[in-house]
Amino acid sequence: MRALLLCLSLLLALPAFAVQPDEVLDDPALESRARAISRVLRCPVCQGENIDESNAPISRDLRLYLRERLVAGDSDDHAVQAVVDRFGEYVLFQPPARGVNLLLYLAGPGMALLALILGIAFIRSRNRPEEGPAALSADEQARLDRIMRD
Amino acid sequence: MNAEFGHFALILAFAVALYQMIVPMVGAAKGWSGWIDSARPAALAQFGLIAISFAALTIAFVTSDFSVRLVYANSHTAKPMIYKISGVWGNHEGSMLLWVLILSLFGAAAAVFGTNLPPRLRARVLSVQAAIGSAFLGFILFTSNPFLRLDNPPFDGRDLNPLLQDPGLALHPPFLYLGYVGLSVAFSFAVAALIEGRVDAAWARWVRPWTLAAWMFLTIGIALGSWWAYYELGWGGFWFWDPVENASFMPWLFATALLHSAIVVEKREVLKSWTILLAILAFGFSLIGTFIVRSGIITSVHSFASDPERGVFILFILALFVGGALMLFTFRASSMQAKGVFAPVSREGALVLNNILLAVSAFVVFIGTVWPLIAELAWGRKLSVGAPFFEQAFTPFMIVLAIVLPIGAILPWKRGKPGRALRSLRGALVFAFAVMALVYAVSTGRSALAVVGAGLGSWLIAGSVLDLWMRIGKSGLSRLLRLPRADWGKALAHGGLGVTFIGVSLLMAWQVEDIRVARLGDTFNVAGYDITLEAVDQHPGPNYDSITATMRIARNGREVATLYPEKRVYPVQAMPTTEAAIASDMFRDIYLVIGDPQQDGGWAVRSYIKPFATWLWLGFSLMALGGLVSLSDRRYRVAAGARGAPAHAQPAE
């Protein structure tokens, strides 16, 4: 038992693990909003973790701050903006689709469109030889008709 | 002595690789058969020497030789043997050695199984393979020597990162590298073909098994990594769109595209230059992945301790090979004469669409991965691109892919009728809509994700079944077993994709999570399961201390399972890890995690019910199995036999 207590005290000194039970809000609707938001906010000191998964103390502070804002009646956007005001746009896992970031958002659809056009052009150009020689001129057609009639 | 021996073998391997790079290439150009033939023994010798070097490093780890700096930094005498061995590649230098070992393994395999290749082509392929080998052997020897000694060897090592002390480390990197590096063979074939200026159906038939093997290993490697994250990180995430994961995903997407376009070259002799380009891009993105992981230029949880000097070296290698290959491509691509013609609606047309979707989605992943870097360099802005962006930008391509796939898979070559294809698939369509209705009825007002994902998945699965069914025709089930293996492989892989679709969407849409404080003896209900925290015990492991909870799960009074989630503390690195306990069956995982003790005497407990989680791993396994079955197709063996080559020439089986 002594050893267990020793181990417990050791554990308590170590970083806490993601969302703790004491952070969870009583109102399930508010809590689920908080969870959804904290999945798109990046832990400022970790390597690519969101604050919902992160064990870092600062992520815990951010989670608590976010909940405070929500309890105070902020909308989702306002709560996120409050965090961004403090830590910069770095904490947003999805950069806002404004300004130069539009390039990021349009790159995929633009590339898809370009690839489709090129693909269709390629298939068309490949097919031309199969269509055989150019259509008969009016003159030739008339001759052919004459022959066929005979 | 052992470490010096390994170092010496590595230097010899470097010398052999340089020989193998230059001599056969010159021989092939001049037509000197002695020089051409020397490629094969050189490839075997290079592999043998690197294997000796790798064995020497493994011995240093197994015997805990702390006079070797790498062993000191990454091992500990108390570490279990399996992690002493897998710890060899749990660090930058050792994993790089594994990288070149596998590279030379593929070179040696190409030398052994390539007896049916024209000697010049074989010499050129092996020469390009050796060029890649020399570059990376040089990289290891000059910047990342694993055999460096310490002047004053300490008594014990600093241990391996506890997160890596898992069977996952023993399997995930070797498979991933077999995939990554296996794509080098396709690259070497592409460059050799560009040098020869000739690509034909035979070339595609030689390249395809190698690509298939690499693709299969890459699929297994990615799935293993995903599974590892799922059970190790303590909350059951399986994909994070982390830069390093993306680095393995982009080559996978390109390899998948390459696999399909090589079919078109093989059957119809069109899309030649595009296929060559894909082979270059697939391995190019493997190199980009290596660069991302090891340069530290993009922050990620996975990356090894980074060093700018190494980053610059790899960037140089990347520029040399990809740039060189692309340059060669621009000069020679026009010499690839396509033969077949086809209508837009045809098997070829569908495969072109497949290639467009896969390549563009890989491009989207790439842009998202490097966007923070671009933003910082160009505008000095520090921003992040993560999971929400990728989910939004990537998913539409997969939806279109899934809709079109079953139709494209049954279209005839040259010219097809979409109406006719749809008519033969109406059974699958009805099934998919039935599943969608069922899922819609079962889920109470949740996202469209479940309905769409399950519908698409069912459409893919039923489409694959119908595809096989139509191939049998009227001759009955006995024909089923005599179908070409490639047809089976195709159906398995496409069906596996469907199973994965269902797993991902239902897991993400229907997951239930519960976080609470539980005291000993407490019973709480999560989604119909009664979970009781029976006991929490402490006991020592081999090199860690463990706190193990005993948790009983019952449903409607009937016992379901007893699970033992663990929390471990590794004293050497003073780091805790969570070991989730999972009870799986076909339709759900129950995933329990024990957290920290609370001040008032309870324990933080997390419980997750994850529906259809097993389907994820099942789907990946089916895809990989499809690759394996396809690889064993008779066609690749007959191709060897037709040239009078010995019967053992079965590529990469």
pLDDT at position B380 is 84
Between the CA atoms of B143, B148, B150 and B154, what dihedral angle is there, to the nearest 10 degrees?
Answer: 110
pLDDT band at A8; cut points 50, 70, 90: very low
pLDDT band at A135; cut points 50, 70, 90: low
Cβ contact A126–B338 (<8 Å): yes
pLDDT band at B610; cut points 50, 70, 90: very high
For residues B270-283, average pLDDT: 90
The Cα–Cα gap between B96 and B94 comes to: 5
- Which of A92-101, B530-539, B602-611 is the least confident region? A92-101
Buried (b) or exposed (e) across B176-199, using 16+ Cβ within 10 A? bbbbbbbbbbbbbbbbbbbbbebb
Examine the pLDDT at A21 and tell me if it is beyond 50.
yes
Q: In A, which residues are within 8 Å of B238 by CB distance?
A: none
Examine the pLDDT at B412 and tell me if it is beyond 90.
no
Domain boundaries, chain B: 2-388, 391-510, 512-614
The Cα–Cα gap between B278 and B251 comes to: 10
- Return the percentage of chain B with pLDDT > 70, whole number: 94
Q: Which two tokens stand for residue B633?
A: 């197709």
Cβ contact A8–B578 (<8 Å): no
Buried (b) or exposed (e) across B464-487, using 16+ Cβ within 10 A? bbbbbeebeeeeeeeeeeeeebbb
Helix (H, G, I), strand (E, B) or coil at B549: strand
pLDDT band at A73; cut points 50, 70, 90: confident
Q: State which residue of chain B sits closest to A45, comparing Cα positions.
A: B299
pLDDT at position B303 is 54
Q: Is B518 within 8 Å of B602 (Cβ atoms)?
A: yes
What is the pTM (predicted TM-score) of this model? Answer: 0.89
pLDDT at position A13 is 38
Q: Is B328 within 8 Å of B194 (Cβ atoms)?
A: yes
Q: Is B500 within 8 Å of B405 (Cβ atoms)?
A: no
The Cα–Cα gap between B206 and B494 comes to: 23
B234 touches chain A (CB under 8 A): yes
Q: Which of A94, A105, A118 to mutate to test the interface with B (most CBs of B within 10 A)?
A: A94
Size of interface A-B (CB pairs under 8 A): 148
Cβ contact A50–B547 (<8 Å): no
Cβ contact A42–B384 (<8 Å): yes
Examine the pLDDT at B647 and tell me if it is beyond 50.
no
The Cα–Cα gap between B529 and B523 comes to: 10
pLDDT band at B296; cut points 50, 70, 90: low
Range B194-200, long-range pairs (CB < 8 A, 24+ positions) = B194/B276, B194/B325, B194/B328, B194/B329, B194/B332, B194/B333, B195/B124, B195/B328, B195/B332, B196/B120, B196/B121, B196/B124, B197/B332, B197/B335, B199/B265, B199/B272, B199/B273, B199/B275, B199/B276, B199/B336, B200/B269
B301 touches chain A (CB under 8 A): yes
Q: In A, which residues are within 8 Å of B607 by CB distance?
A: none
The Cα–Cα gap between B468 and B52 comes to: 47
For residues B133-158, average pLDDT: 90
Instruction: Tell me: ipTM over 0.85.
Output: no
Q: In A, which residues are within 8 Å of B350 by CB distance?
A: none
Task: Tell me the per-residue pLDDT of B201-223, one tens digit each, with 9 for 90 and over.
Answer: 888 888 889 999 999 999 999 99
pLDDT band at B130; cut points 50, 70, 90: very high
Residues with Cβ < 8 Å from A86, sequence gap 6 or more?
A: none
Examine the pLDDT at B586 and tell me if it is beyond 80.
yes
Q: Cβ of B642: how many Cβ atoms within 10 Å?
A: 10
The minimum CA-CA distance between B299 and chain A, rounded to whole Å, is: 6
- Which of B127-136, B476-485, B519-528 is the least confident region? B476-485
The Cα–Cα gap between B279 and B183 comes to: 8
pLDDT at position A1 is 34
The minimum CA-CA distance between B192 and chain A, rounded to whole Å, is: 25
Helix (H, G, I), strand (E, B) or coil at A57: helix
Q: In chain B, what's the furthest Cα-to-Cα distance? A: 83
Q: Is the dihedral of CA B452, B456, B462, B463 positive or negative?
A: positive
Q: Is B225 within 8 Å of B177 (Cβ atoms)?
A: no
Which of A110-124, B324-338, B490-504 ranks highest by mean pLDDT?
B490-504
Q: Report DSSP letters for B552-600, one per residue.
A: EEEETTEEEEEE--EEEEETTTTEEEEE-EEEE-SSEEEEEEEEEEPTT
pLDDT at position B651 is 41
pLDDT band at B133; cut points 50, 70, 90: very high
Say which of A53, A88, A123 has its CB closest to residue B235: A53
B 172-201 residues with CB below 8 A of A?
A: none
The mean pLDDT of chain B is 87
Q: What angle do CA B622, B249, B584 make, to 5 degrees?
A: 45
By the 10 Å C-beta count (0-12 exposed, 13-18 middle, 19+ buried), B426 is classed as exposed
Q: Which two tokens stand for residue B558?
A: 């009937």
Dihedral pair phi/psi, residue B428, rounded to 5°: -65, -40
For residues A81-103, average pLDDT: 88
pLDDT band at B170; cut points 50, 70, 90: confident
The minimum CA-CA distance between A112 and chain B, rounded to whole Å, is: 6
Cβ contact B235–A18 (<8 Å): yes
User: Alpha carbon of B114 to those of A96, B17, B212, B410, B649: distances in Å?
Assistant: 52, 18, 16, 33, 7
Q: Cβ of B649: how many Cβ atoms within 10 Å?
A: 18
Radius of gyration for chain A, computed over Cα atoms and rounded to the nearest angstrom: 32
Task: Tell me the per-residue pLDDT of B58-102, one tens digit each, with 9 for 90 and over.
Answer: 999 999 889 998 999 888 888 888 899 988 988 889 999 999 999
